[in-house]
Amino acid sequence: MHNLTLAQQLQALAAGEFSSVELTQHYINRIESHQDSLNVFVTFTPERALEQAQEADQRGTDKPLLNGVPLALKDIFCTQGVKTSCASKMLDNFIAPYDATVVAKLQQAGAVSLGKTNMDEFAMGSSSESSYYGDVKNPWDLSRVPGGSSGGSAAAVAARLASASMGTDTGGSIRQPAAFCGITGLKPTYGRVSRYGMIAYASSLDQAGPFGLSALDCAYLLQAIAGYDAKDSTSVDQPVEEYTTNINKDIRGLRIGLPEEFFQEGLDADIRAKIDLACDQLRELGCVIKPISLPNAKLAIAAYYVIAPAECSSNLSRFDGVRFGYRCEDPVDLADLYSRSRSEAFGAEVKRRIMVGTYALSAGYYDAYYLRAQKIRRLISEDYQKAFAEVDVVLSPTTPTTAFKTNEKADDPITMYLSDIYTIGVNLAGLPGISIPVGFSQKLPVGMQMVSTYFAEDTLLRIAHQFQQHTDWHLQTPAKFE
């Protein structure tokens, strides 16, 4: 059962080949067998999952879209009655009193929740090594990272511990772990999916999105979670496409652009070769591939690591030891309560970004750093819009290398930040992007990223789906988890 895609599981459930309870129990057994080696889950909820599975089996003929399939949720989505920690000591004791809109919509669609997945603390990281609960392991090689910050959600799908999962993407945190783990990951347009109940890191960049084995799996999940939400002031009132239907439309004649800036120094030669082969396959499917330029792409990392920390320093000011979360013992006064609660409960990477962001926003430095970064952000967005006047999709590697070893970059945060070099500009511009597997390099998965204009997720899903109809990279399973 676990080697079926989510779409195939939905068909099998509808045909009565197995029940939701049987499928859910199968995943529960797999999680119990593999959790210790992978450290994928922060909170595992088997009893709750089986209750939801029983409800799914008892529904009548008019079943909701995702009825009975077991999913995993990144531990950043508030889930009523379940610990929601953001993988931080700060929220280790926090039980969410309400559901995030994404969680509520998945429940309305009939999905079963297996629990909350491990991640980089407060979504700050590219490797899932900054978690208070320990490192997440890559199912393809347990000595390597699964990517981040949504590494637990990606590893859960890659190891077949869930039918699919939900993550968030601030600078590549869905697409990069999807590439490292050999699965499909979709970052929707900013505002396409509600951020209500999703604990904020950088509010102008964060976006929820799905992981699945296939593009069709991601289409099912996006169909369920997309749409306007009055509770979220950044939500866009835009009609939701029929993603699961449109995915079968022809892609012949679609124009795909290869940005020359993404195929230069720093890109692993074997990854470049795999992208070239994937482009050959897309040409055979009728796509037109041409070179383009994104001249300001090289500035994306510098701009991102001013804007994102600035927003994080503001968002994380609410964690002060007073209202909820961790509180230090026996504070002598209010200042001591604030400083010790925060210094004791935040990890090193979170502290680093808070300090950088506070500095960038401080008097005398706002114009020099934050304002300039926002101007660069506009230039990057304009580069993409100029490109989309010529092409329908921008294609590139998802990452410059395959998954690196655990602790390999832990002491060098700047090198770590470079692993998101191809993904960050997409968040700065608010565009949708998808990563799909296109092969292996030294037995590790290689991912290819495609980006389209605003609210054109259906175009990305169509191309990815047609590619996956003619390849099987997305169906490969790590040997230890077959």
Catalytic residues: 74, 149, 173
- Where b means 16+ CB within 10 Å and e means fewer, 116-153 reads bbbbbbbbbbbbbbbbbbebbbbbbbeebbbbbbbbbb
Sequence length of the chain is 482
**Residue 207 host element (H or E):** strand 207-212
d(CA 288, CA 282): 8
d(CA 292, CA 300): 17
Side-chain-side CA neighbours of 310 within 13 Å: the count stands at: 21
Q: Which of 212, 222, 240 shows the shortest CA–CA distance to 9?
A: 212
Structure tokens at 293: 């330029």
- DSSP secondary structure code for residue 193 in this structure: B
d(CA 463, CA 252): 10
Q: Are strands 444-452 and 433-441 parallel, antiparallel or unpaired?
A: antiparallel
Helix (H, G, I), strand (E, B) or coil at 319: coil
- Cα distances (Å, whole numbers) of residue 143 to 157, 229, 248, 279: 18, 41, 38, 31
In 200-320, which ranges are continuous DSSP H helix? Answer: 215-225, 243-246, 269-284, 300-315
d(CA 148, CA 160): 18
186 and 218 Cβ atoms separated by less than 8 Å: yes
Helix (H, G, I), strand (E, B) or coil at 25: helix
- DSSP secondary structure code for residue 171 in this structure: S
170 and 77 Cβ atoms separated by less than 8 Å: no
